[in-house]
Structures are given as C-alpha cells and as structure tokens.
Amino acid sequence: MRWAQWAAAGGIVHRPTPVPECRCTVCKRRMRVLPVEIAPRKSYTRPVIETACATYAALSRPTITLRQTVSRLGKDAPHFSSLHGWLGAMGARALGRLDRQGQGPPVAALIAESAKGLRPELLAAWNQPYPVAPRKCRSRQRREQLEACARLFDTAGRLFPQAAYPLTAWEQWLESRFHVTAWGFPARLPCTAIQQQAPRKVVVRCAPSRPQRSRPTKGKAHGARGPP
C-alpha cells in the first residue's frame, strides 16, 4: 500500500492505494509498480499537482497568486511554497535541463515519440513561445520556467483534449512506450527562491525630519573631575 494525497470533492484526502508487486521476465527481480497517478517521491498525486500548476501558469489568470491557487484546492491543500517548487522543477524539466539527473528520458525523445505516435506537428509547435504574466516572474530564469510549464500544459491539452487531466494522460501514454516515468521532476530546485511582487508605485510620503543641532561645548568649563 502507498499513502498519497488525492483530489476529492471539497479538498484533499489522504488515503492508501494498492501498489502491485511485479517480476521482471529478464532479470527476475521483483519491484513495486506505482500507478500513473502517483509520481515517484511525491506525496501529492499527479492530478493535484497538475491542477495547481496549470491554474497558476495559465495566461488567462494573470493576477492569481500562489496562495490563491492552492486555496482553490480546498481543505488540506498543499503549501504555496510546494507549488512554487513544483513550477520551477517542472519548468526546468520541460526545458531539458534535468535530462541527466535521472528524471526520465530526454525531453527531445518524449517530444519525438509523441509526434510520431500522436501529432506530427508537435515538433514545430513545441518551440513556439508561450508568454506568461509579467508580474509572476522577476528574473529571466523564473520566466523561462513558467513559460515551459505553460507550454507543457498547453501541449498536453492539445494531445488529449477529452481527458480530465491531460498531462497525466500524456504521462500514461508515454509510460506505455518507454516503460519508465516520463515527466519526472524533483519537488523543488535549490536555485529558485520565492520572488516577491514588484513594489507598488503608490507610496506614502512622510514629513521631512529636522535634525536637532547639538549645542556648542567648545571653551565651556565642565568643572573639576573626581578621582578615578
């Protein structure tokens, strides 16, 4: 059994999920096989992560914040810092920057296989720009990560338009081809700190302070000093 956080009506529920034990016909080793909804080393399931990340990265919600996004998930929603970490790591994965860190096959191989088996025009569409709200990023690295997330979710929606969770459906299709986790990503990246919003233009002015001048003491006798 594997405990995980699942999306339910009104919030997130913590419940167990059966994990079957399988045996490899080649090396004869036994291993546990996770269902496609449970990502390796993640307590929240893929549908929960996908819902939160897709909501925040959507260009149609330019003013939504991290806190507002997780609050839409209801009771026992993940912390907003978890969402920030998912977005950064998932964006880095979609950019191909984690290809050598054991997070799955190279991104180029995933796109090539999807174009071959699903939509041939995916190769050209994957390199199209995907703008994000400027207020959600204050560095070039963060902007690139959010743009990659938007590209990932938009592509999944085009490949599986009828699925409730397109990225999870895409993951299941890719796992049937590669037999390993396809879109794996770490919980967070150490280089992506939470960036605050830009300072507001409206400021409150205060009255200028008038420093008091010290009284002159030159030439003034202070009297005899006492013994030390």
Separation between Cα atoms, residue 120 and residue 139, nearest integer Å: 34
pLDDT given at position 215 = 64
> Cβ(159)–Cβ(118) under 8 Å?
yes
Separation between Cα atoms, residue 74 and residue 207, nearest integer Å: 46
Which residues lie across from 7 on neighbouring strands? Answer: 12
Collect the ranges in the chain with pLDDT lower than 50.
none
> What percentage of the chain reaches a pLDDT higher than 70?
84
pTM of the model: 0.82
Output the CA torsion sign for 86, 89, 95, 100: negative
Separation between Cα atoms, residue 99 and residue 93, nearest integer Å: 7
pLDDT given at position 116 = 95
> Cβ(147)–Cβ(56) under 8 Å?
no
Reported as a single tens digit per residue, the pLDDT across 119-141 is 999 998 898 888 888 889 888 99
pLDDT given at position 204 = 59
pLDDT given at position 73 = 94
For the chain, the 3-state helix, strand and coil shares in percent, each to the nearest 5, are 35, 10, 55
pLDDT given at position 169 = 97
pLDDT given at position 131 = 86
pLDDT given at position 96 = 94
Residue 142, token pair as written in the block: 């963060």
